[in-house]
Amino acid sequence: MAEVGYYIVDLEVAPEGGAMPGAPNLTLKLGVNATNGEVNGQVTLTQAVQGGEHEFPVSGSIHHTGFGEDSLLVSLTGYYAQSVPPPAIGTYLVPFSAALAVDKSWNGTGSYTFGHNRMSRCNVTSTGS
């Protein structure tokens, strides 16, 4: 990938061993400012439950390990709105965070949390751009 300027990466984050029934599916479309290490973009989080599709913005940063073959350490945070099921009325913000360790081609491993849910040992795969 580009080491200078601004570029876009599309990622898929899935559990090791493939998707599990009912497990969340995470896709990311990120804009990377290689000059200052800032990352901003859009997350799509889908799960086979009622009200289980969310699209929301995230932001974060990239750090380089600088050891041997350089790895990129990416941290992302964001929030999405979750409505409570009827008969209750209301909406609350659910925190999201992700930590990814990827190579220069944006393939690697990571984990993410949303609310009280944690997905660990996930494969990160570049899907384009």
Would you state the structure tokens that stand for residue 60, as one six-digit string?
């974060």
Choice between 49 and 105, residue whose per-residue pLDDT is larger: 105
Report the C-alpha gap between 104 and 34 in whole angstroms: 12
User: Percentage of the chain surpassing pLDDT 70?
Assistant: 91
- The model's pLDDT over 38-83, given as tens digits with 9 standing for 90+, comes to 999 999 998 766 667 889 999 999 998 877 788 999 999 999 998 8
Q: What is the pTM of this model?
A: 0.87
Task: Output the average pLDDT for the chain.
Answer: 89
Structural domains in the chain? 6-128 (2.40.128)
Closest CA to 112 of 96, 98, 102: 98
Would you state the structure tokens that stand for residue 111, as one six-digit string?
């984990």
